[in-house]
Structure 1
Amino acid sequence: MTADTIVSKVWSFCTTLRDDGVGYGDYLEQLTYLIFLKMADEYSKPPYNREVGIPEEYNWKSLCAISGAELEAHYMILLRELGKKKGMLGQIFTKSQNKIQDPAKLSRLIAMVDDTQWVILDADTKGDIYEGLLEKNAEDTKSGAGQYFTPRALIRAMVACMRPEPMQTIADPACGTGGFFLAAYDYLTKNYSLDKQQKYFLKHETFSGNEIVSNTRRMCLMNMFLHNIGEIDGESSISSTDALISPPSHTVDMVLANPPFGKKSSMTFTNEEGEQEKDDLTYNRQDFWATTSNKQVNFVQHIRSMLKSTGRAAVVIPDNVLFEGGAGETVRKKLMETTELHTILRLPTGIFYANGVKANVLFFDNHSAQKEPWTKEVWIYDYRTNIHHTLKKKPLRFEHLQEFIDCYNPKNRLDRKETWNAETNPDGRWRKYDYKEIIARDKTSLDIFWLKDKSLSDLDNLPDPEELAAEIIENIEAGLNSFRQVAVGLRGDRASGL
């Protein structure tokens, strides 16, 4: 049975559950619990004979042996008790709840999972199955799951540029469902003949991350486990703590990340009148260049602090990080001084499941301290102007970013050639700017573009009306987000007396 067949079979049952009010995310959550239990059962048998820490009264057989109301009651107890365990087991089942109220349908789901021998499936097949389910979940825009799912084509392109090597440590402080880890894992296994030590390091020590949303973290852990990263009875490499709270406990060779979109970090509390209020979170860290409640700016600062002196990073950030004044300007200046910010990829709208997003990818290399700024020139690839993508009709694919990868020149980043030329190729998308040019710009803005928007003049080549309407909506939402961010920033400046 192929991965596509299993995905289709497993996912088709969700339509039945939808009538009972079980959403895509809830369904995927229950699948995660059941597949984990089934694989644990398979590992407990020959030739593995492993003790994975699941008590006999809560193992897979205990679910298969009963039905009806007895099954529903037992399943609820099982979820609660396994959530108390340590390591990956406890992380998978933390805060778990039964969302399938019909015992007959729960029995059918258990039988469907039981029908597949998961351990003997190769990692690519298991991984493809779960990734397929995650992508279907992200497509359900009502659930909001898309905010934790970065387009896999973009992730692959970022990894292709970064070219991770064996025995390097890779981290993501907001890892979502683990897309960057899996792409890096695939790159390493396909481009290197790993020896025994390198294989062990890749499986157990290469990856680490943070994800504060428990349901997303459990999906990340399951996704990694199914791709052969980590052990079923091992410790979790994904922390549930907020990465921004304190300086990193260790530094890494590489950070690949797409921190959550949204202007501010906040916490909800109940005031004296019993009403719910939100309070902005400002992280006062000695290793930060600026104190701000803008969480994307904070993530940029945190990611820089995560890197070894030879570490490298590729991080997705929204436009406001490139042009915002105050703390944003301070961080941009410090980033160019202390690291080599060498590349920016401008991304189009219509590629993220979260609406109204205008984003970019920053590539920078850390270095030891010196008096002169490390950034000498910044290369910018504009894959936004005159580019039209939609999630359904024209989704972003890896080949769409191949020209950027070629221009980036991963094998020798110091040997690059501009495709832009004022006289011979004014439509070239690849252009460099000197450090002095950028530092002289208003607020040291890195929001740089030079191409003309042809949709305003070339009426014969307009995209389909549906595609054009989707892009207009995306641009309006992105514009509104930007205005909100500016308004919040102005209020913050007045409050601080700037």
Structure 2
Amino acid sequence: MLLELGRRDGVIGTIFRKAQNRIQDPAKLQRLIHDLINKENWSASGTDINGDAYESLLAKGASDKGSGAGQYFTPRPLIQAIVDVIDPTVDDTVTDPACGTGGFLLMAHEHASKDAASLTPTQKQHLREGFIHGGELVDSTARLAAMNLLLHGVGSYDGPSPIDVRDSLANDPGRRWSVVLTNPPFGRKSSVTTFYGDDGETSENTVIERQDFVATTSNKQLNFLQHIMTILEVNGRAAVVLPDNVLFEGGAGETIRRKLVDDYDLHTMLRLPTGIFYAQGVKANVLFFDRKKANPGQHWTEKLWVYDLRTNQHFTLKQNPLQRRHLDEFVQGYKPGAPRSARTESERFKAFSYDEIIARDKANLDITWLKDDSLTDLDSLPSPEVIAREIVEDLTAALAEFEAVASALEKQLGSIEATDPSDPVETH
């Protein structure tokens, strides 16, 4: 049955793709399906209860370090704030090329559906069938996303799946969207895998080469940023969560940042605090930008507004988790729907001109201005558990960088050893 369901088209095929039955005892299977699940009247519960229950299970799974599910889970208060300022409407098409469990897509759909009573039948059909689209590489995660959307009333069990199980970075999908909301997976290597030999070994091809990209790099976040810039419609808007290295990395990073501020309107950046992601060692930001028509010789970015929610802010996943109210000031300062000229500066919200950005070394966007009290005032040091967690995050990030360096050195050494011994080799 599982194999047959996995071969179907649409949502059912996505949900049961590569599914496995892990219950080997027939009596336990009967008790689970017949005595427990089948006794509940799920259709009478409504999508609100079923969907909320499923979201709770996803959150619980993300908090389980052993499952590894946390890497696919973006904090819901952060998603809600991002969706609130992007303000997707029923006239939009929304995509997340690294959708994880579908949090961005679900929140965007909920936001656009808030005035459902006033929508036309055509608009309701668009919301149900064509409003959202997601891409996800991992089968098990795509299954979670498809189930999450279906239980919240998005799509239908016999309709097409809004989730494509594929590597979004592999090529240009040939389609454009008016809104892109995403939190690409953290880590420096690309997700492209090549197979070689008869033993089934795999190796990561760490460089993505696409003609529609302005730079060739092995940095996965830079490649996702280029992909998002490519798939956005003219006058479309994007919000993407990216780690700090994207802001200052040279080479391809500088090339991409200069294109972003010249050919796109990079208008807002939200500097996120540490301790809010299940993946440790993460210092991230949200970049907000719009795509504009080609304008040779001119730049579209006039001002970059930076909101610093990181300096002197300390969050943890358990004792002091990020909540939506912590982002109220940012949302109010962003002024969704109003011209950006209506914005005003505050202690945490500052504007930087195009000339100031371009004048920075390598168009570095790693901009700070607030004084970190913990570095100057011993009385204001955070609690020991917060300090310990920040140390763990910094060490984890450092280990990841050293691992990338070690892998690169091993690759170089392997290429040298593969060289013809008769050829002169210069060693250092």
Give the secondary-structure state (helix, strand or coil) at the position aligned to 1:393: coil
Seen in structure 2, the aligned counterparts of structure 1 residues 271 and 203 have a Cα distance that, compared at 3 Å, is closer
Q: 1:391 aligns with which of 295, 309, 317?
A: 317
Q: 1:400 aligns with which of 326, 348, 353?
A: 326
Distance 1:343 1:411 in 2: 14
Equivalences for 1:167-182 in 2 at 5 Å? 167-182=91-106
Distance 1:117 1:191 in 2: 28
Distance 2:141 2:113 in 1: 25
Distance 1:345 1:475 in 2: 20
Q: 2:176 aligns with which of 233, 251, 256?
A: 251
Once the 2 structures are TM-superposed, how far is the Cα of residue 275 of structure 1 from its aligned partner?
8.4
Once the 2 structures are TM-superposed, how far is the Cα of residue 104 of structure 1 from its aligned partner?
3.0
Equivalences for 1:344-493 in 2 at 5 Å? 344-371=269-296, 372-414=298-340, 415-419=342-346, 428-481=347-400
Offset from partner CA, 1:218-242 (integer Å, 9 cap, x none) = 1100100111111110111211121
The answer to whether the 8 Å contact 1:356/1:475 transfers is yes
Once the 2 structures are TM-superposed, how far is the Cα of residue 411 of structure 1 from its aligned partner?
2.5
Distance 2:294 2:309 in 1: 33
Once the 2 structures are TM-superposed, how far is the Cα of residue 370 of structure 1 from its aligned partner?
0.5
Distance 1:437 1:489 in 2: 35
Equivalences for 1:1-80 in 2 at 5 Å? 78-80=1-3
Once the 2 structures are TM-superposed, how far is the Cα of residue 475 of structure 1 from its aligned partner?
2.9
Seen in structure 2, the aligned counterparts of structure 1 residues 293 and 304 have a Cα distance that, compared at 3 Å, is same
Q: Confirm whether residue 343 of structure 1 aligns to residue 276 of structure 2.
A: no
Give the secondary-structure state (helix, strand or coil) at the position aligned to 1:141: coil
The amino acid that maps onto 2:316 is T
Give the secondary-structure state (helix, strand or coil) at the position aligned to 1:132: helix
Distance 2:126 2:192 in 1: 37
Offset from partner CA, 1:34-90 (integer Å, 9 cap, x none) = xxxxxxxxxxxxxxxxxxxxxxxxxxxxxxxxxxxxxxxxxxxx1122112222111
TM-score (norm 1): 0.78
The answer to whether the 8 Å contact 2:234/2:291 transfers is yes
Once the 2 structures are TM-superposed, how far is the Cα of residue 247 of structure 1 from its aligned partner?
1.0
Seen in structure 2, the aligned counterparts of structure 1 residues 303 and 314 have a Cα distance that, compared at 3 Å, is same
Give the secondary-structure state (helix, strand or coil) at the position aligned to 2:114: helix
Name the structure 1 match of 2:213.
288
Once the 2 structures are TM-superposed, how far is the Cα of residue 467 of structure 1 from its aligned partner?
2.6
Distance 2:115 2:309 in 1: 27
Name the structure 1 match of 2:9.
86
Distance 2:339 2:279 in 1: 32
Name the structure 2 match of 1:103.
26
The amino acid that maps onto 2:351 is K
Q: Confirm whether residue 148 of structure 1 aligns to residue 148 of structure 2.
A: no
Distance 2:62 2:285 in 1: 21
Distance 2:177 2:349 in 1: 30
Give the secondary-structure state (helix, strand or coil) at the position aligned to 1:225: helix
Seen in structure 2, the aligned counterparts of structure 1 residues 453 and 219 have a Cα distance that, compared at 3 Å, is same
Distance 1:482 1:360 in 2: 19
Q: 1:236 aligns with which of 161, 164, 167?
A: 161
The answer to whether the 8 Å contact 1:248/1:305 transfers is no
Seen in structure 2, the aligned counterparts of structure 1 residues 487 and 413 have a Cα distance that, compared at 3 Å, is farther
Q: 5+ residue gaps in structure 2?
A: 416-428
Distance 1:467 1:201 in 2: 46
Seen in structure 2, the aligned counterparts of structure 1 residues 203 and 483 have a Cα distance that, compared at 3 Å, is same
Once the 2 structures are TM-superposed, how far is the Cα of residue 452 of structure 1 from its aligned partner?
1.4
Seen in structure 2, the aligned counterparts of structure 1 residues 449 and 241 have a Cα distance that, compared at 3 Å, is same
Seen in structure 2, the aligned counterparts of structure 1 residues 444 and 87 have a Cα distance that, compared at 3 Å, is same
The answer to whether the 8 Å contact 1:320/1:485 transfers is no
Offset from partner CA, 1:430-487 (integer Å, 9 cap, x none) = 1111111111111111111111111123333333322321222223323444566688
The RMSD of aligned alpha carbons is 2.3
TM-score (norm 2): 0.90
Distance 1:104 1:86 in 2: 31
Q: Confirm whether residue 221 of structure 1 aligns to residue 221 of structure 2.
A: no
The answer to whether the 8 Å contact 1:320/1:482 transfers is no
Distance 1:475 1:176 in 2: 25
The amino acid that maps onto 2:15 is I
The answer to whether the 8 Å contact 1:266/1:278 transfers is no
The amino acid that maps onto 1:418 is E
Distance 1:224 1:96 in 2: 18
Seen in structure 2, the aligned counterparts of structure 1 residues 484 and 455 have a Cα distance that, compared at 3 Å, is farther
User: How many residue pairs end up in the alignment?
Assistant: 410
Query: Identity over the aligned pairs, expressed in percent?
Result: 52
Deviates more, 1:335-344 or 1:467-476: 467-476
The amino acid that maps onto 1:213 is V
Equivalences for 1:260-275 in 2 at 5 Å? 260-267=185-192, 274=199
Name the structure 2 match of 1:314.
239
Deviates more, 1:482-491 or 1:114-123: 482-491
Distance 2:135 2:200 in 1: 31
Give the secondary-structure state (helix, strand or coil) at the position aligned to 1:390: coil
The answer to whether the 8 Å contact 1:139/1:146 transfers is yes
Distance 1:268 1:300 in 2: 20
Distance 2:403 2:238 in 1: 28
Distance 1:381 1:138 in 2: 27
Once the 2 structures are TM-superposed, how far is the Cα of residue 132 of structure 1 from its aligned partner?
0.5
Point out which structure has higher relative CO (alpha carbons under 8 A, 6+ apart).
Answer: 2
Distance 2:276 2:230 in 1: 29
The answer to whether the 8 Å contact 1:342/1:377 transfers is yes
Once the 2 structures are TM-superposed, how far is the Cα of residue 167 of structure 1 from its aligned partner?
2.1
